[in-house]
Amino acid sequence: MCRQEARGAADSGARPARCVMARVDAPDAETLVSDLVERDFTVSRPNALWVADATYIATWEGFLFLAVVLDVYSRRVVGWSMGARLVTALMLDGLDMGLGQRDARDVIHDSDHGSGRCGRPY
């Protein structure tokens, strides 16, 4: 939204509006799950460690959010989800896709604590 406003202002010769970014505070330390990976991303078998992240894709209609879950061993996408908003359900849909397609009983799932991964269901 800010980019479009700034682009329109630049075309008209006006000074672009200042963009204000909202910051999501991290949850309390008591609510966070312990870090089982400890930044050691080496595994010896498939479905031992999955990592997840989300990004946005700019389209003519606005932003589209993409959540992806990767198997660290094979470096393949095991689940993904797309939506108009970056919410916890988007991340859970990607995780559910991976769990539905793979036999992952003892998988460790790791992600950062971004806004889509801080909801209670996640």
Q: What is the pTM of this model?
A: 0.65
Lowest model confidence (mean pLDDT) among 3-12, 40-49, 74-83:
3-12
Contact status, residue 122 vs residue 91, Cβ threshold 8 Å: yes
pLDDT digits 0-9 by tens, 49-89: 898 989 999 999 999 999 999 998 999 999 999 999 988 89
Give the number of other CB atoms < 10 A from CB of residue 32.
11
What class does CATH assign to 45-122?
alpha beta
For residue 36, report the phi and psi dihedrals to the nearest 5 degrees: -80, -20
pLDDT digits 0-9 by tens, 96-111: 999 999 888 888 877 7
Rounded CA separation 54/72 (Å): 16
Q: Compute the C-alpha angle 21/27/29, nearest 5°.
A: 140
